[in-house]
A and B are shown apart, each in its own frame.
Chain A
Amino acid sequence: MLESEACENTNYNPLIVAFCCNWCSYAGADGAGTARKSYPANIKIIKVPCSCRVNPLFVLRAFLRGADGVILCGCHPGDCHYTSGNYYTRRRMKLLMSTLSYLGIEDGRMRVEWVSAAEGNKFSETMNSFAETIKSLGENVKLRDLRCKK
């Protein structure tokens, strides 16, 4: 995999966790690979059966244990493999993001994007732009467990 431009020539390499649904976004990542589109290597993908499998606790725990950014990708609303899973995700994550911002956590540390299996390009663009955002935000210090300091 190619190193993204965004992460070149600096010492800071943010750790990013991406939850990708099995049916659309994970296949989208594959699509990006097939199309030889790059995305940063410091994005760790966790495959989930559906975006609505992601409990808000997973997101918080990722931050707690040292992630600098968390992105959640699922099928476009209406395209869920299980018909309605991502509609629930949409409500849940909207509330979680609003609350994180309310608690004083930087907006942008968490993102939700809909990426279909055919959107390899979008996957790569999304990940690159997210990595850039996180880089500009710097390390996650607010949500991290102090004991996990690198």
Chain B
Amino acid sequence: MQKIAELIKKEAESLLKENKVTAVWAWQPGEFYYDNSPVCFTAPEQLDKLVYNEFCPSNLGKYLMAGSKKNETMAVFAKPCDTYGINQLIKDHRIKRELITVIGIPCSGMIDIKKIKNQGVKGIISVSVSGDDVIVTTAYGDKNFKKSEVLLAKCMSCKGSDYMIADKELGEKMEVKCQKLNPEDGVKKLEAMTSQERFAFWQQELSKCIRCNACRDICPACSCEQCIFDNQEAAVAGKASANTAEEQMFHIIRAYHVAGRCVGCGECARVCPQGIQLGLLNTKFAKDINEFYGKYQPGADDDSKAPLVDYKFDDVEPTISAKGVR
């Protein structure tokens, strides 16, 4: 990873020095080893703060929206999974393709610090990663982990090492080595439950919501300039978590609105401060779309017609299998 970080720095430096772009989106370190945050570099001398390691999960694509509106030329470093989101934003006319330079960077999976902390690890002073070994130094002693066991959920269902969009690729492609998870497994498990059990499950999940909107704000498919849930005149704007009916409404509609455009990046579930399993809702839509209208991967290209703005004459009818079943 260190080698790639050097390559990224060099690339960013040449882009800025040669005035090919006015801004470069990358990551900068935080207070601890694990809390890198997205940052926009505009001058070569800022680049000594650039970082790339196993703690750069954010997709930087959405940040390009603001600059694109102002017609700024920007470069962005994108992991293979991030390229899906960038494509989707281009397709949704939120980013102008001609303004951006996408530089693909390899990724071997990002680590979920929550998984480490959930095992009772506190007072982290530093983290070092080499190969599959993660050594966490804490004020209470060292702890060892296997990287393959503490990866982010989204990395465990990695879509592969290919870039869907990239003007340049840095380094050699890497694989995520771990027990792979199929996101549809969770959906199938729920589908196998009874209606009552599913209802109870979602009540419990959605009642955790505090309506912070982090899921919406990080989502590369949620790119409306004015969200209906922010519009006080819309009569559905609910800042409050009044009761689960309102949360249900927010999450169903949000998932619905990104149906056929959700690239399955898993960011919504990652950023949720309450740990709601939002992926189960988005994946359900994706699974249904694949089943009813043929396989479709949003973000794999920037010109195909999304399933919900398309139709066939012989589409499946919206009938229910068993009418009036509780």
Contact = CB atoms under 8 A, between A and B. Distances in A.
Direct contact of A and B (CB under 8 A): yes
B308 A60 contact: no
Nearest to B289: A95
Contact of B285 (A61, A90, A99, A111): A99
Band of interface residues on B: 35 or more
Interface in A97-132: 97-108, 111-112
A94 interface: yes
Given A94-B316, A95-B256, A107 B311 contact: no
Contacts of A136: 324
B308 A104 contact: no
Interface stretch (B90-98, B104-112, B141-149, B190-198): B190-198
Contacts of A102: 187, 190-191, 198, 284
A57 interface: yes
B252 interface: yes
Contact of B245 (A93, A97, A99, A145): A145
A146 B324 contact: no
B32 interface: no
A93 to B, nearest CB: 4
B313 A147 contact: no
B304 interface: no
Contacts, number: 126
Contact of B324 (A88, A96, A137): A137
Interface string A54-97: 00110011001000000000000110000010011011111111
B155 to A, nearest CB: 25
Contacts of B200: 104
Contacts of B236: 57, 61
A102 B289 CA distance: 14
A42 interface: no
B321 interface: yes
A107 B196 CA distance: 12
A56 to B, nearest CB: 5
Nearest to A132: B324
Interface string A131-150: 00100110000111111000
Given A61-B249, A99-B285, 13 more contacts: A56-B253, A56-B256, A60-B248, A87-B312, A91-B293, A93-B318, A98-B284, A99-B252, A99-B255, A107-B323, A137-B326, A145-B243, A145-B246
